[in-house]
C-alpha cells in the first residue's frame, strides 16, 4: 500500500482558511514591522566583520527577533 496521495486527493482543496481578501493590518502591525527591522539591523554589520564574528551577530539578531515574537499578541478569538 502506498502512502502517496491519489490523484483524486490532490484535486481536493486542502482544509484550512478559505481564500479571501488579505487581512488589513492593524495599528500594531506598523510597530511590529519597526521592531522586526530594528532586530534585523545588526545584520548590516556583517560585511565588515570576520566570518568568525558572524555567529555573535546572528545570536544578537535571534535574541531580538525572539523578543519581538514574545511581545506579539496571540490570535484573536
Residue-wise pLDDT tens for the chain (77 aa)? 568 777 777 777 767 766 676 666 665 678 889 999 999 999 999 999 999 999 999 999 999 999 999 988 777 65
DSSP state of 41: G
DSSP state of 53: G
The C-alpha cell of 39 is what? 532586530
Residues whose CB falls within 8 Å of the CB of residue 61, separated by 6 or more in sequence, listed in order: 39, 40, 42, 43
Exposure string of 29-50, with b = 16+ CB inside 10 Å and e = fewer, is: eeebeebeeebeebeeeeeeee
Amino acid at each position: 500500500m502506498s502512502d502517496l496521495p491519489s490523484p483524486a486527493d490532490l484535486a481536493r482543496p486542502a482544509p484550512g482558511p478559505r481564500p479571501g481578501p488579505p487581512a488589513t493590518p492593524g495599528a500594531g502591525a506598523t510597530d511590529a514591522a519597526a521592531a522586526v527591522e530594528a532586530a534585523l539591523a545588526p545584520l548590516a554589520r556583517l560585511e565588515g566583520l570576520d566570518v568568525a564574528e558572524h555567529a555573535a551577530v546572528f545570536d544578537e539578531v535571534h535574541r531580538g527577533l525572539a523578543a519581538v515574537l514574545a511581545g506579539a499578541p496571540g490570535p484573536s478569538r
